[in-house]
Amino acid sequence: KSKLGFKFHFSFPSVEIGESVRGEDVYIIQSGCGEINDNLMELLIMINACKIASSSRVTAVIPCFPYARQDKKDKVRDRAPISAKLVANMLSVAGADHIITMDLHASQIQGFFDIPVDNLYAEPAVLQWIRENIAEWRNCIIVSPDAGGAKSRVTSIADRLNVEFALIHKERKKANEVDRMVLVGDVKDRVAILVDDMADTCGTICHAADKLLSAGATKVYAILTHGIFSGPAISRINNAAFEAVVVTNTIPQEDKMRHCPKIQVIDISMILAEAIRRTHNGESVSYLFSHVPL
């Protein structure tokens, strides 16, 4: 027990590679979800085990990057850690030569690494889902529940669908609690599609859905890359007025779907598989930034 009152419990995963990896191009797939610390430690040990077993290259495929939201310090939390940088250092020290991930919470996390990082995007799969599953998509408006993500993610999807976008400015008093929301944009008589990179306790998107409906939206969808769904998230989604909450399978969702029929999943395994194939063959992966592989 430390002087700060925290209790530390250490468990040591036992890892042994079952066949020779000498001279091989190794890909280790491990998402930053569930028991995050155990999974991260297991990933680091597996990377190191392959590296000291003389593999030629080790690529860590991390669909959901752990601790990605702790990417900076601010005025409110001046002594907060920059854990995303620490994870980047740990992966490099363990021996990773290359990282493949998807929809980083902040693009500057790529700059935390001194090794190549391919940050893939769920956007092509999201566009495909919207066109195939929302009949009124031509009369939709894309909404960012956070002004910070408006420029890159929401405007790009809105431009490719040739529709308008809106954003919601939120003020937080403390983490995971939203104090006030202000809608910027006209959603009256339109289908509103909330787009974000992740949802944790879902307080933000559920408040945003209420705000959009009160502003005159006919239907509200939420499309998220990483569905963490911790704490009261499932009960909040069940009680909210969403037509559907759509997430990718960067995090396994089978258990959550059993408790919440509104959750639907976009399969992004083919995007990761194609990225692995192209990386192994020395081909460009930029095609995947705007296309879903067949």
The answer to whether domain 3-119 and domain 121-265 are alike in fold is yes
Q: Residue 3: its pLDDT value, please? A: 43
CA 138 to chain centre: 26
Q: What is the per-residue pLDDT across 151-207, written as a single tens digit (0 to 9) for each?
A: 678 999 999 999 999 998 876 666 555 567 889 899 999 999 999 999 999 998 999
Q: How crowded is residue 42: how many other Cβ atoms within 10 Å of its Cβ?
A: 17
Quote the CA–CA distance of 136 and 291 in Å, as a whole number. Answer: 22
Give the predicted TM-score (pTM) of the model: 0.88
Q: Residue 62: its pLDDT value, please? A: 97
Quote the CA–CA distance of 274 and 208 in Å, as a whole number. Answer: 35
Quote the CA–CA distance of 100 and 95 in Å, as a whole number. Answer: 15
Note the CATH architecture for domain 121-265.
Answer: 3-Layer(aba) Sandwich (3.40)
Q: What is the per-residue pLDDT across 55-96, written as a single tens digit (0 to 9) for each?
A: 999 999 999 999 998 888 876 667 888 999 999 999 999 999
For strand 164-174 and strand 177-184, is the pairing parallel, antiparallel, or unpaired? antiparallel
Q: Which residues contact 172 (CB under 8 A, 6 or more apart)?
A: 178, 179
Domain boundaries, the chain: 3-119, 121-265
- What's phi and psi for 246, nearest 5 deg? -105, 125
Q: Residue 172: its pLDDT value, please? A: 61
Q: Residue 72: its pLDDT value, please? A: 85
Q: How crowded is residue 112: how many other Cβ atoms within 10 Å of its Cβ?
A: 19
Q: What is the per-residue pLDDT across 264-275, written as a single tens digit (0 to 9) for each?
A: 999 999 999 999
Q: Residue 179: its pLDDT value, please? A: 66
Q: With left for phi above 0 and alpha for psi between -120 and 50, is residue 229 left, alpha or beta?
A: left
Residue 150 has pLDDT above 90, yes or no: no
CATH of 3-119, one of 3.40.50.2020, 1.10.10.10, 3.50.50.60, 3.10.580.10: 3.40.50.2020
